[in-house]
Structure formats: structure tokens, C-alpha cells
Structure 1
Amino acid sequence: MEAYDLIIVGAGPAGSTLAKALEDSGKRALLIDKQDFPRDKTCAGWVTPSVIETLDIDLRDYGNGRTLQPIRRFRIGMMGQQAVENDHGGVVSYGIRRCEFDDYLLARTNTPKKLGTPVKSITRKDGNWLINDAWSAPLLVGAGGHFCPVTRLVGDGPGSHETVVAAKEIEFEMTQEQAKTCEARGDTPELWFCKDLKGYAWVFRKGNYLNVGLGREDNHKLTAHLQDFVEAMQSAGRVPENLSGRFKGHAYLLYDHAGRALVDDGLLLIGDAAGLAYTQSGEGIRPAIESALLAAEVISQAQDFSATSLQAYGDAIADRFGHRESDKEEGFQVPEWIRMPLANTLMRSHWFTRKVVTEKWFLHQEVPALETHPDTPALKQVYQ
């Protein structure tokens, strides 16, 4: 039995960021993931400059042999009407492929790893968590996404009581002919909102790679909505007629509607396992990174791993992302006044699609990059 101070289940951006942040803390961690890396990951795949800054990524190094698509414009519209295109005058985000991005982050860590290793059993003994009867630690961190096995141990766990957003997407490398005729441009992702504003679809080109998908809060209609969208985009020449591969699905929780507890005795959740995706856009990468860094500060300072000690992490999350409100409308948090007939007019407005939809909802430009030091409001209590 190998003993550690903590075991992190899930080696995606949240898990690998936490592992790296703890490398100089004196805490001995183990990273476990059911898949080998690099691995496919269902995700539209873009990161904002704040993520690049927070992770201290050298873009020249990252772009050497990996897909790095600068984004300068967005095309936004309601399905069935003309899109509005906005030029932001510079690079406001970067398109990445998750198979490359996640592998890059994981490779930067020196933390011991057990990849291609599903969690088959979790038991509690003498204040420690035993994983697969092979590794033990007093702290278990869930970083394995919505269905992470650790989530079953915290609060009510995943289940029918949760309002889950379901998405399907496909990413493939276009042939030369497909790339030549595809109307979608690499520096201009396209966002198409469903008419009822309960979800949106996207067409995102990254060089010769094309990512197409749709996410909605009512997954029983997801396939039909997706099929209608793809057919419309194919007719417009923005998506090739013959798609290579198959659509893959995933699920996640929006922050304002996720009721998951974040901590318990010897347990802590980060990233999508904690239900931290931004409510307006469904983006999970930035919340995953920031939750991991906040968790690292709390873990490194904690006197023990009781729920009382770890609650500082839950408080830091609330300070950073806001307090969850149980009385908010379920699903994508589009304000009620936008769901009214006014939405059609707003979605044709350059000002609204740029200042509200893109810069506020999707890029979160008004929120500065996370800084983790004693004066950070979200962490002051940790250092007191």
C-alpha cells in the first residue's frame, strides 16, 4: 500500500493544475486517471488570455507543434436568422485541441501518475481513503468531471435532482477539399443560440480542424436540435456535407444551478466535478483552473483535512464565482427579459452581441485573472 497526503482523481486541467501548484508545498500527491494521455476530450476548445496568464503558458512554446488558433472575431446569431459578426480588433481568445492542451498541462507536472487506471474501489479506513486497495491518503480530490467517482461521496452526489446540461460535438481534420470549401474561418468562431435560448450551438475552425456541437438543458431533444443545426450549416456551406467521425456527448452542471457540496471530511471537489461551469456560456476550463489554484492554497495551509478546515475552499469559490442561488431559473442563465421577443432584436445588435454575449458572457473580460496570494480577497481567510 503506497501512502500519499492526497490523491487526485482526474488528470485533466483541474487535476494537473492542482498537482503542479502543490509541488513545492511539501504535500505528496498522486494523480489517477482512467485514460492514458493524450486522450480525446469532448469540448469546443478555446481558452481566454486570462487562462494563458494564470497558467503562465508560453504561447511560442505551446504553438510549436500544437494547434493554437488566435480568435479575433465572433459570428453570433439566433438559429434561423442572419448572424452578426464583430471584430474585436485583436486576439481575444485562442482555439486549442483538448487532446493537446490537457496533455501539455499534465506533462508539466512532476507529480507521480497512474494513467490508464480506472478507480474500481474507494474505501475508508482509519481516517484514510483507500483507492483500489493500492494507494491511501487522508484527502481525496475529485477532478474527474461530472461523473467523477469521488462526487458520489460528497453530499447527495450526482443524480436526477441535478439540472444537467448535455452537449454533443465532433472534432475532425478536414480533407484538403473540405478545408478549401468550408466557409467557416479560423479566427471567427460561430455561436448560434436556440430560439428558446435554452442552449446554443457552435462552429469552430482551428486550422484544418473543425469542431461542431450543440449543448442544451433538455437533453431529450438534443439529437433533433443538433441534426437540424448541422443540416442548416451544411446548406450554408459552413460545415462539410460528409462529417468524419461521430458526435460524442458529455454532461456538466452550470454553477448557479449546481447543488453539489464542495467539501466533506477528507473530500474536496474541483472543476466540473464541483459543477463550476460558467452559467451563461457553459465554459469549464477557466473555472477548473481557478478552482484548482484556490484548492491548492487551502490544502497547503490546512491544519487537517476535516470538512471544517476545507470549508475555506468553499468560501473562496463563493467569493470568486458568486454565491449560488437556488431560486434562479434552471438551465442556461439567460435573463428573463432576454428570453422575451426582444431577444430576436438584441441578437441582431452589434453592441449587444459584442459587449454582452461575447465580452461578458463568453470571455468574462471584466473579471481579472486569478491571483493567489495572501491579499487575494478569496483567500484572505486562508492565511488568517
Structure 2
Amino acid sequence: MDYYDLIIVGAGPAGSTLASALETSGKKVLTIDKQDFPRDKTCAGWVTPAVMKTLKIDLDEYANGRTFQPIRRFRIGMMGQPAVENDHGDVVSYGIRRCEFDDYLLSRVTGPKQLATPVKSIVRKDGNWVINDTWEAPLVVGAGGHFCPVARLLGEGPGSHETVVAAKEVEFEMTPEQASACEARGDTPELWFCRDLKGYAWVFRKGNYLNIGLGREDNHKLSGHLEAFVDEMKSAGRIPEDLPGRFKGHAYLLYAHAERPLVDDGILLIGDSAGLAYTQSGEGIRPAIESALLAADVIRDAPDYSASSLQIYGDAIAGRFGNRAADTDQGWQVPDWIKTPLASSLMRSHWFTRKVVTEKWFLHQEVPPLKAAV
């Protein structure tokens, strides 16, 4: 049996950030993931300057040999009506490929890693956790996404009325013919809201790669909405007629609607395992990074790994992202006041789509980068 101070289950941005942040703590940390890296990850794939600053990533160094698409504009609209394009002037975000970004973050972890290793069992034994009858630690951290096996130990929270958002996307490298036929521009992601405002779709060109997807709160209607959106984009010339491969799916929880506990004795959840995706956009990379850094601060100083000691992390999450909704409002990410007959007009407004949709909901420009050291 190999003993560690803590075991991180999941080597994506949350897990790798936590492992990196604890490398000078003197703690022995093991990071486990069911997949080998680099690996495909279903995600539209953009990060804000705040994420790159928090992670202390050298932009020129990262861009060397990797997809790194500066974003200066957004096209935003409601399906079935013309889009509004806003020019932000400066770079407000960057397009990345998750297979490259996640692999880069994990490559910065110098501690032990166990990849291509599914977690088949997590058993409580003498106050510790034993994983796969092989590795033992007093603390396990769930960083494996919505279906993380560590999160399952805590259940779905009071009432289990969580709204799970389901999304499907495809990302592929375009042929010269596809690239010439695609009117979507690299520095201008396109966001298209469903008319019932229960989700949105996107078209995102990153260099020679194209990412198309749609996410909604009602999974049973997802495929139909996606098919209609793709047909509309093809007819408008925004995307090529011939799309290769199948759309891949994933699921996540929106922060304000999640009821999943964050800590228990010897257990702590970060990133999508904890249900931290921004309520207004579903974006999860920045919350994942920041939750890992907040967790690292608590783990370094915790006298033990009891639920009461780890609750400091839960308080820190609430302080950073706000308190979760106390009621059982199951709406999608937009506030109720948007879901009015005025919605169509608002989505044609340059001020609203820029100041509210882009800068507030998607970029969170009013929130400064987290002051934490990796």
C-alpha cells in the first residue's frame, strides 16, 4: 500500500492546479486520472486573461506550438434573428484547445501521477481512504468533473433537485476547402441563445480548428435543438456543410443551482465536481482554477482533515462566488427578468450584448484575478 497525504482524483485544470499549488507544502500528493494525457475534452475552449494571469502562464511560451487564438470581438444573437457584433478593441479572451491546455497544466506538476487509471473503489479504512486497494491517504479531493467518483461519496445534496446542464460539441481541424467556406472568424466567437432562453449555442474558430456546440438544461430536447442550430448555421454560411465525426456530450452543474456538498470528513470537491460553473454562462475553467487555489490554502494550514476543519474551504468558495441559491429555482443561467417579451429586443442591443452578456456573464471582467500563488 502506497501512502500519501492526499490523493487528487482528476488531472484536469482543477486537479493539476491543486497539485502544483501544493508542491512546496511538504505534502506528498498523488494525482490520478482515468485517461492518459493529452486527451480530448468536451469544451468550447476559451480562457480569460484573468485565468492566464492567475496561473502565471507566459503567453508567448504557451503559444509556441499550441493553438492560442486572441479574441477581440463577439457575435451574439438569438436564434432566428440577426446577430449583434461588438468590438472590444483589446484582447478579452483566448481560444485554446483543451487537449493542449490541460496537458500543459499537468506537465507543470512534478509530483507523482497515475494516469490511464480508472478509480474502481474508494473505501474508508481506519480514518483513511483507500483507492483501488493500492493507494491510501487521509484526504481525497474530487476533481474529476460532474461524474467524479469522489463526488458520489457525498451524494447530490439536500433534495437532489439539481439542474444538470447537458451539452454537445464537435471540434475538428478544417480542410482548406472547409476553411474557405467558413465565414466564422477566429477572433470573433459567436453565441446564439435559444429562443426560450434555456440554453445557447456557439461557433468558435480557433486558427484552423472549428468548435461547434450547444448546451441546454433539458437534455431530452438537446439533439433537436442542436440539429436545428447546425442547419441554420450551414444555411447562413457560418460553418462548412460537411462536418466530420459525431458531437460529443458532457454535463455539469451551474453554481447557483447546485446542492452538492463541498466537504466532509477527509473529502473535498473542486471544479466541476463541486458544481462551480458560472451560473450565467456555464463556463467552468476559471472557477475550477480558483477553487483549486482556495483549496490549497486550506489544505496547507488545516490542523486535520475533518469536515469542520475543511469547512473553511466552503466558506472561501461562498466568499468568492457568492452563496448558492436558497430556493429551488431551476431556471437556466439568465435571470428571470430577461425571460420576458423584451428578450428579443435586448439581444439586438449593442449595449446589452456587450456590457451584460459578454463582459459580465461570460468574461466576468468586474471580478479581479484571484490573489493566490501557484
Same fold (TM over 0.5): yes
Shift of 1:160: 6.2
2:19 is the counterpart of 1:19: yes
Aligned partner of 2:235 in structure 1 is 235
The offset of 1:328, in angstroms, is: 5.7
User: Where does residue 296 of structure 1 map in the other structure?
Assistant: 296
Distance 1:35 1:161 in 2: 30
Instruction: Give the whole-Å Cα distance in 2 for the aligned partners of 1:97 and 1:158.
Output: 36
Task: Specify the code of the residue in structure 2 equivalent to 1:355.
Answer: K
Query: Does structure 2 conserve the Cα–Cα contact (< 8 Å) formed by 1:6 and 1:140?
Result: yes
Q: Which amino acid aligns with 1:205?
A: R
Contact 1:78 1:195 in 2 (8 A): yes
Q: Which runs of 5+ in 1 are unaligned?
A: 374-384
Question: Deviations 1:274-315 (Å, cap 9, x if unpaired)?
Answer: 000000000000000000000000000000000000000000
State the distance in 2 between where 1:138 and 1:160 align. 27
Report the CA distance shift for 1:238/1:196 in structure 2 as closer, same or farther (over 3 A): same
Number of aligned residues? 373
Shift of 1:162: 2.1
Q: Does 1:88 align with 2:78?
A: no
Write out aligned runs for 1:172-187 (5 A): 172-187=172-187
Offset of 1:356 from its aligned partner? Answer: 0.3
1:135 maps to what in 2?
Answer: 135
Provide the rounded CA distance (Å) in 2 between the counterparts of 1:156 and 1:347. 35
Aligned 8 A contact 2:163 2:330 in 1: yes
Q: Partner of 2:202: helix, strand, or coil?
A: strand
Alignment partner, residue 366 of structure 1: 366
Distance 1:14 1:159, change over 3 A: farther
Instruction: Give 1:364's aligned amino acid.
Output: H
The residue type equivalent to 1:313 in the other structure is Y
Poorly superposed stretches of 4+, deviation over 4 Å? 157-160
CA distance in 1, matches of 2:58, 2:193: 34
Aligned-pair CA distance for 1:155: 4.2
Aligned to 2:327: 327
SS of structure 1 residue aligned to 2:16: helix
What's the offset of the Cα at 1:180?
A: 1.1
CA displacement at 1:327 relative to structure 2: 1.9
Whole-angstrom CA distance in 2 between matches of 1:254 and 1:267: 21
Does the 8 A contact of 2:71 with 2:91 survive in 1? yes
List per-residue Cα deviations over 1:253-294 (Å, max 9, x = no partner): 000000000000000000000000000000000000000000
**1:29 aligned partner, one-letter code:** V
**In the alignment, what sits opposite 1:217?**
217
Q: What is the rounded CA distance, in whole Å, between the counterparts of 1:159 and 1:313 in structure 2? A: 23
Give the Cα separation in 2 of the matches to 1:335 and 1:345.
Answer: 16
Over the residues paired in the alignment, what is the CA RMSD in angstroms?
1.2
Instruction: Name the counterpart of 2:51.
Output: 51
Name 2:170's counterpart in structure 1: 170
Supply the distance in 2 between the matched residues of 1:272 and 1:262 (Cα, whole angstroms): 11
Tell me the residue number matched to 1:308: 308
**Matched-pair identity in %:** 80
**Residue 90 of structure 1: CA displacement?**
1.1
CA distance in 2, matches of 1:83, 1:158: 41
Amino acid paired to 1:257? H
Deviation at 1:337, TM superposition (A): 1.7
Aligned CA distance change for structure 1 residues 158 and 39 (closer, same or farther; 3 Å): farther
Q: Deviations over 1:191-237 (max 9, x none)?
A: 00000101000000001100000000001000000000000000011
Equivalent position of 1:382 in the other structure? none
Who is 2:65 aligned against?
A: 65
Find the residue that maps to 1:213 and give its secondary structure. Answer: strand
**Structure 1 residues 184, 159: CA separation in 2 closer, same or farther (over 3 Å shift)?**
farther
In 2, Cα distance between the equivalents of 1:95 and 1:30? 30
- DSSP-derived class of the 2:273 partner: helix
Name the counterpart of 2:125: 125
* Inter-partner Cα distance in structure 2 for 1:195 and 1:296: 41
Q: What SS does the aligned partner of 1:166 have?
A: strand
Q: CA contact under 8 A between 2:53 and 2:369: conserved in structure 1? A: yes
Q: What is the TM-score normalised by the length of structure 2? A: 0.98
Pair 1:192 & 2:224 matched: no
Query: Which residue of structure 1 aligns with residue 282 of structure 2?
Result: 282
Residue aligning to 1:9: 9
Q: Deviations over 1:50-97 (max 9, x none)?
A: 000000000111000000000000000000000000000110000000
For residues 61 and 159 of structure 1, the distance between their equivalents in structure 2, rounded to whole angstroms, comes to 47
Q: Is the 8 Å Cα contact of residues 121 and 131 (structure 1) preserved in structure 2?
A: yes
Asked whether the equivalents of residues 152 and 158 of structure 1 are also in contact (C-alpha less than 8 Å), the reply is: no
What residue in structure 2 maps to residue 151 of structure 1?
A: 151
Instruction: Judge conservation of contact 1:281–1:332 (CA < 8 Å) in 2.
Output: no
The secondary structure found in structure 1 opposite 2:205 is strand
